[in-house]
């Protein structure tokens, strides 16, 4: 509260300082609501995490809210990694993510850079690309195209069609445009060609945006399952999420085994535990990356909120 000394010394009161008592009450009430929302957001993840490292017997028997792990054991994880279904699909997913993101970022950065320069045909190019954001042939024509290209049941079918997301490209383009023209001009005076300007000058300046776009592509590639479902036939090429779908939604753990036919007794008895463990495996990479990139969000995504 304001006291005489402050008034006399004319101390400036910060605008977000809680001055009035009613302000404080409101702040407390709102904070409680916010914290509750935060807990609800994270609880399903926590529940799954605790359940995955609890003892199998407890998981089988327990029906209610899990507030902490019971009898911590990693036996569940051992079980799912024993059967090579999960391991192969994990490696597949890794491949799709690394290859896909590299491919996407290359195309998106080049596209965004060229479209951010002053070219006469850029207006036309932008219109052509934005058009594709709103209109697409739909599911069937895309399927026919992949078929006609002979990419059915090929890993490339999950990578090639997804080079550029127009939305991400526009965010990156806006970031490129915000690099001050003077810096580029002085670089060109010093003899820098387009490649040097893009890589040496601009990219370091828009690191935050590049990081966020990379994150978007990574999350997209890791989480993608539907293209794999319609284009792939060979189980050895399945990404992890497709296997998760089998285990969690189709309730089918039979394919985890090497011979694809029999379920081992262990697997049968611990299906619930397997579900929890495989869920965590599917979520883990994103959860791990998340804190590191969280700091970029306050700054980087500002760009996306400006009308493109």
Partner 1 sequence: MKKTFARKEYFIRLKKDLSKNRVLYLAIIPILAYFLLFAYVPLYGIFMAFFDYVPELGFSGSQFMGFEYFRLFFQSEYFGRIMYNTFVLNILSVIFVFPAPIIFALLMFEIKTKAIVKGVQMLSYLPVFISLVVVCGIIVDFCKVDGLISNMVASITNEPSKNLLDDSKWYMPIYLISDLWQNMGFSSIVFYAALCRVDANLYDAAKIDGAGRFRQLISITLPSIMPIIIIMFVIRMGGMLNVGFEKAYLLQRPLNALRSEVIATFVYKRGIAGSNYGYGTAVGLFSAIVNFAFLWSTNLIAKKTESSLW
CB of 153 to partner 1, least distance (A): 15
296-300: Cβ within 8 A, 24+ apart? 296/208, 296/211, 296/212, 296/215, 297/212, 299/208, 300/208, 300/209, 300/211, 300/212
CB of 251 to partner 1, least distance (A): 8
Q: Which of 173, 176, 169, 178 is nearest to 217 (CA)?
A: 169
Among left, alpha and beta (phi > 0; psi -120 to 50; other), residue 191 is: left
CB of 132 to partner 1, least distance (A): 4
Q: Which C-beta is closer to partner 1: that of 57 or that of 262?
A: 57
Q: Which C-beta is closer to partner 1: that of 74 or that of 125?
A: 125
CB of 110 to partner 1, least distance (A): 6
The structure tokens listed for 65 are 């809210």
Q: Which C-beta is closer to partner 1: that of 2 or that of 258?
A: 2
- Please check whether residue 197 is in contact with residue 187, taking contact to mean a CB–CB distance below 8 angstroms: yes
Distance, CA of 179 to CA of 52 (rounded, Å):
47
What count of other Cβ atoms lies within 10 Å of the Cβ of residue 45?
Answer: 13
Q: Which C-beta is closer to partner 1: that of 88 or that of 129?
A: 129
CB of 118 to partner 1, least distance (A): 9
Q: Which C-beta is closer to partner 1: that of 4 or that of 307?
A: 307
């Amino acid at each position: 509260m304001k006291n005489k000394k402050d008034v006399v010394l004319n101390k400036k009161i910060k605008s977000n300082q809680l001055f009035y008592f009613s302000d404080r009450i409101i702040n407390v009430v709102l904070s409680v609501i916010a914290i509750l929302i935060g807990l609800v957001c994270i609880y399903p993840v926590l529940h799954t995490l605790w359940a995955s490292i609890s003892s199998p017997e407890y998981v089988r028997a327990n029906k209610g809210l899990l507030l902490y792990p019971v009898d911590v054991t990693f036996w569940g994880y051992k079980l799912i990694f024993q059967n090579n279904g999960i391991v192969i699909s994990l490696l597949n997913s890794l491949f799709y993510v690394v290859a896909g993101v590299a491919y996407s970022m290359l195309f998106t950065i080049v596209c965004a850079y060229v479209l951010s320069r002053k070219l006469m045909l850029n207006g036309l190019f932008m219109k052509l690309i934005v058009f594709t954001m709103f209109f697409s042939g739909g599911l069937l024509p895309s399927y026919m195209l992949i078929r006609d290209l002979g990419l059915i049941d090929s890993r490339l079918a999950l990578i090639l069609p997804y080079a550029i997301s127009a939305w991400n490209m526009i965010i990156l383009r806006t970031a490129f445009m915000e690099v001050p023209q003077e810096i580029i001009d002085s670089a060109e005076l010093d003899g820098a060609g387009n490649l040097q300007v893009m890589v040496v000058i601009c990219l370091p300046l828009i690191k935050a945006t590049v990081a966020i776009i990379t994150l978007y592509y990574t999350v997209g590639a890791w989480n993608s399952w539907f293209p794999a479902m319609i284009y792939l036939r060979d189980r050895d090429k399945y990404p992890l999420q497709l296997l998760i779908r089998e285990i969690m939604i189709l309730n089918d753990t039979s394919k985890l085994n090497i011979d694809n036919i029999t379920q081992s007794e262990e697997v049968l008895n611990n299906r619930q535990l397997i579900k929890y463990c495989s869920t965590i495996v599917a979520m883990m990479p994103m959860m791990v990356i998340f804190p590191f990139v969280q700091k970029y969000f306050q700054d980087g995504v500002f760009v996306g909120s400006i009308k493109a």
